[in-house]
Structure 1
Amino acid sequence: MGAAPPAKTAGNQIRTKNEETLMQTDLLIRNACVRDDAPLTDIAITNGRIVALEAGIDVHADEIIDAGGRAVIPGLIEAHLHLDKALLHRRLPARFGTLDEAIRVTGILKGKQERTDVLDRSRQVLDMAVRNGTVAVRAHPDVDLIQGLIGVETLLELKQEYHDLLDLQIVAFPQEGILKSSGTYELMVEAMQLGADVVGGCPYNELTWADTRRHIDMVFELAQRFGAPVDLHADFADDASDQRFAAVSYIAQKTIETGYQGKVALGHVTSLGALDPDELAPLIELVREAGISIVTLPATDLYLGGRKDRGSQRRGLTPVKALHSAGVNVAYSSNNVRNAFTPFGTADMLQIGNMLAHVAQFGVPEHQLAVLDMGTYNAARAIGLDEQYGLAVGKDADLVILDTFRVADALLDIPPRLWVVKRGRITVVTQHRCEIHRHQCCAH
């Protein structure tokens, strides 16, 4: 990774070539394919923001990148990622691939967590994400009596360390439940006081439906106390026969009652995939009315789903197409990287998007672009960054130049990220060269 000097603090303005005076800008990206149906565009960046976006910008620039017609997209966003549990896949391998086993195995390993090890593994995944063009992460460290606040404390340190590379949000996440694990709520309060940004929840991991509802109530009460958004792991099952895994309606109603529309995200939500259209439609409408974002996690959900099925094995994915068609904000994310929940992964949002497009059967061109939006604009909305995000004048200069020449090919090619820019600073430069020598292809 290579970093440019910090952006200048002077309030410089851009004048185009049609104006008399040429001004100074920090970074100018020439010949960018921002839209496949439009001419190549130049992007001028000053003080970390996009100040001009048009063809033929004529300014003096401290640094110039010639994209050469390559696709430029907004920076990718991991809206749901577990760093404290990453890269544990070889320490105690899961044998059955079920959710219950993953929670149990991870619980054993959490009891052995050490601060330096958590920091090291988290850095490895964050470095993967940065190299792959991710500019923001919402991380869900476990807050429980097993590992205490080590996940939150290490992320608070990494939030400062990675400040120039990505934005890091911290969720106080009670993986082991709240009511069935006395003392967890107090730890969540402490986590928020330390600086966690989001109140998390895991309502299915309670013993009764009544406790699941109370879990949700407590999460919203805590969120209101700290003025924080809510992000829940919800409905993580193959069907909705157990009410603990059918909580979306209750969560949506709670969202509306508390005035939290637009401030709630739900991860997984797999049991919705088991409902027939007549049952699903009113529930989706309620989710839309509540302004809830659904973050599908295909790598984990496909791996864990349908493990008990003996025939016609279900794949455990939320109904992405129905949610998208109804106007619900749908995003996707990696969730876990190489642990009992997901034994694969490189924190590459384009790779996960390609997977999602396959399993959600989003193959036509407009659907492929919709999936790309789910990893960019929709994800920004899901974690509350949409006001300052995007390829538009006045927005933060968080973007990725891809080694492909059409935006529509981003998920097809999964191309190298040649340049990554965060708040106007070049954070990643990838030198890629592919030559054929005796049927071998080498990338550097």
Structure 2
Amino acid sequence: MELLIKNVIIDESNKPVDIAIENGFIKKIAENIVAPADRVIYGEGHVVIPGLVEAHLHLDKALIAGRLPNKSGTLKEAIEVTGKLKSTFTKEDVMTRATEAIEMLIQNGTTYVRTHAEFDPSGGFHGFETIMALKDKYKEVIDIQVVAFPQEGIFKSPGTEEMMHRAMELGADVVGGIPYNDTDAIAHIDLIFEIAKKYDRDIDLHQDFKDEYEGQTIAYLCEKTIKEGYQGRVSVGHLTTLGAMPDAELNPIIELMAKAQINVMCLPMTDLHLGGRNDEYNVRRAVTPVRKLRDGGVNVCLATNNIRNPFTPYGNGDLLQVAMLAIPVAHLGGADDLHTTLPMITENPAKALKLRNYGVKVGCEATLVVLDTKDYHNTILDMPERLFVIKNGHVTIELKRQLTKNY
């Protein structure tokens, strides 16, 4: 064996097992495996989970919060401020910031990420091209999916439609979109499907990001998804408008979303920060209704969205922090709910991103995280350090503690 991990917890039974890894895959899971191995990790009863999956991020806009602050904390000012800053971005600048953000993710046990990389006629492709280069540079330690993202809209920004096609030809993995930030949201969605079908790519939209639900297009998106045979191939981020809907109107939409197999990326750090800014009292959580979507059969994920920029002026790339925040915000702390939270940063986004051979099972890719906790039920609550991060059978991160004797 290349690697043998001894005495670890891999599920809610809290029963210790060993994990044998060969040729980058999990070969065997059992008690007391006896086999020669190039390296043995003694787990000492710690929890092992599959590599964390960051389903929605903007690497090209990371770490710019201090350059031109969003003083009001509103979405409107975040878009305005970022629009001004984008003209100052260079390839070197994007490379430096995105590299720092990627290494934050890796240190925190994220082994897969889907990042939206934007472009427009005024800013060109330098940010997008930089992210594509980083995808290749870091491929041994983190898998990066790149979404072609028209942040400034398509129809209201002439020339962007041609750039969308060019981005796909340059290797973008997913077709992105932002219907609410264009002159015609329906036409925007139709065009995104046209492009996605041409290049046989999945779709990931910034969808219905506001406090009220009037004018939302999620129902049309679901109908379009079913009509085009794209069930399971469409993801949406934010979707905060659903949080303002009474059940009588919300429930039929959730049923339609489940039928269309829409994946939802809830982004609590951003949406809490930007949402409800006009509420004078009883300020809304301003996040998509996670429990209702989950109970309605919709695949729900938790993701970061931004790291320290005008949209989200905090964060360190730690998905466990995102999940911990979501527990009180989305009412996931109940006895029947808590165990559904960890899958929202592991199994659920893995499904949305179409990851193959994912999980802690025989035959799966040996992409694992050893956590500094010994109770599977407390995986998020303990906010444990990552003791080891393993990608395809190779240790990429190893936490070493040393006590200095100074007494």
Does structure 1 residue 264 correspond to structure 2 residue 211?
no
Alpha-carbon distance, 1:436 to partner = 12
Residue 26 of structure 2: aligned partner = 50
SS at match of 1:314: coil
Cα offset for 1:431?
Answer: 1.7
- Give the 3 Å change call, closer, same or farther, for CA 185–37 of structure 1 in structure 2: same
TM-score (norm 1): 0.90
Equivalent in 392, 402, 407 of residue 371 of structure 2: 402
Cα offset for 1:435? 9.3
Offset at 1:39? 2.1
Q: Please name the residue that 1:306 is paired with.
A: 276
- Return structure 1 stretches of 4+ with deviation > 6 angstroms: 434-438
Aligned: 1:393 with 2:362? yes
Inter-CA distance 435–320: structure 2 relative to 1 (3 Å threshold)? farther
SS at match of 1:283: helix
Aligned-residue offset at 1:341: 0.1
Which residue number in structure 2 is paired with residue 22 of structure 1?
A: none
Q: Separation in 2 of the partners of 1:414 and 1:363?
A: 15
1:176/1:433 Cα in 2 relative to 1: closer, same or farther (>3 Å)? same
Helix, strand or coil for the counterpart of 2:179? coil
Identity level (%): 46
Match of 2:2 among 18, 23, 26: 26
Letter in 2 for 1:311: Y
**Pair 1:231 & 2:200 matched:** no
SS at match of 1:67: strand
Note if contact 1:354-1:411 (Cα within 8 Å) is conserved in structure 2: yes
Which residue type is aligned with residue 400 of structure 1?
Answer: V
2: distance between equivalents of 1:357 and 1:164? 32
What's 2:126 paired with?
150
Q: Is the 8 A contact 1:135 1:167 kept in 2?
A: yes
Look up the equivalent residue of 1:326 and give its one-letter code.
G
Compute the displacement of 1:145 (Å).
2.0
Match of 2:344 in 1: 374
Provide the C-alpha distance between the structure 2 equivalents of 1:225 and 1:42, rounded to a whole number of angstroms: 46
2-side partners of 1:142 and 1:100: how far apart?
18
Q: How does 1:49-68 map to 2 (within 5 A)?
A: 49-68=25-44
Q: CA–CA distance in 1 between the matches of 2:60 and 2:142?
A: 17
CA contact (8 A) 1:155 1:170 kept: yes
Q: Contact 2:48–2:370 at 8 Å: present in 1 too? A: yes
**Equivalences for residues 243-254 of structure 1 within 5 A:** 243=215, 246-254=216-224
Corresponding residue number in structure 2 for 1:415: 384
Deviations 1:134-192 (A, max 9, x none): 00000001121232212220111111110111100000011111111111111111111
Whether 2:145 is the aligned partner of 1:169: answer: yes
Q: Deviations over 1:28-48 (max 9, x none)?
A: 101011123152111111111
Distance 1:429 1:227 in 2: 39
Q: Which residue type is aligned with residue 288 of structure 1?
A: A
2:145 corresponds to which letter in structure 1?
Answer: Q
Write the distance in 2 (CA, Å) between the matches of 1:365 and 1:168.
Answer: 34
- 2:255 paired residue among 281, 285, 289: 285
Q: Is the 8 A contact 2:14 2:376 kept in 1?
A: no
Q: Give the Cα–Cα distance (whole angstroms) in 2 for the partners of residues 406 and 436 of structure 1.
A: 30
Alpha-carbon RMSD across the aligned residues, in angstroms, is: 1.5
- Matches of 2:336 and 2:125, distance apart in 1: 43
Contact kept, 8 Å, 2:90 with 2:127, in 1: the verdict is no
1:92 maps to which residue? 68
* Aligned partner of 2:310 among 340, 349, 352: 340
Which of 201, 211, 222 does residue 195 from structure 2 map onto?
A: 222
Determine the C-alpha separation between the residues in 2 that align with 1:258 and 1:146. Answer: 33
Cα deviation 1:78-136 (Å, max 9, x = unaligned): 00000110000000011111111111100111111100110110010110000000000
Determine the C-alpha separation between the residues in 2 that align with 1:363 and 1:134: 23
1:316-366 Cα shifts (integer Å, max 9, x gaps) = 100001001111100011100000000000010000000001101111244
Which secondary structure state, in structure 1, belongs to the residue aligned with residue 374 of structure 2? coil
CA distance in 2, matches of 1:240, 1:62: 57
CA displacement, residues 380-426 of structure 1 (integer Å, 9 cap, x when unaligned): 011111x3111111111111000010121121111110000011110
Deviation at 1:433, TM superposition (A): 5.7
Aligned to 2:173: 197
CA distance in 2, matches of 1:214, 1:436: 67
Structure 2 segments unaligned to the other structure (5+ residues): none
Q: Which amino acid aligns with 1:60?
A: P
| Cα deviation 1:189-230 (Å, max 9, x = unaligned) | 1111001100000000013xxx10000000011000101000
Q: Is the 8 A contact 2:58 2:306 kept in 1?
A: yes
Q: Is the 2:49–2:370 Cα contact (8 Å) retained in structure 1?
A: yes
Q: Is residue 416–residue 432 contact of structure 1 (8 Å, CA) maintained in 2?
A: no
Equivalent residue pairs, number: 407
| 1:212 counterpart = 2:185 | yes
Letter of the aligned partner of 1:172 in structure 2?
A
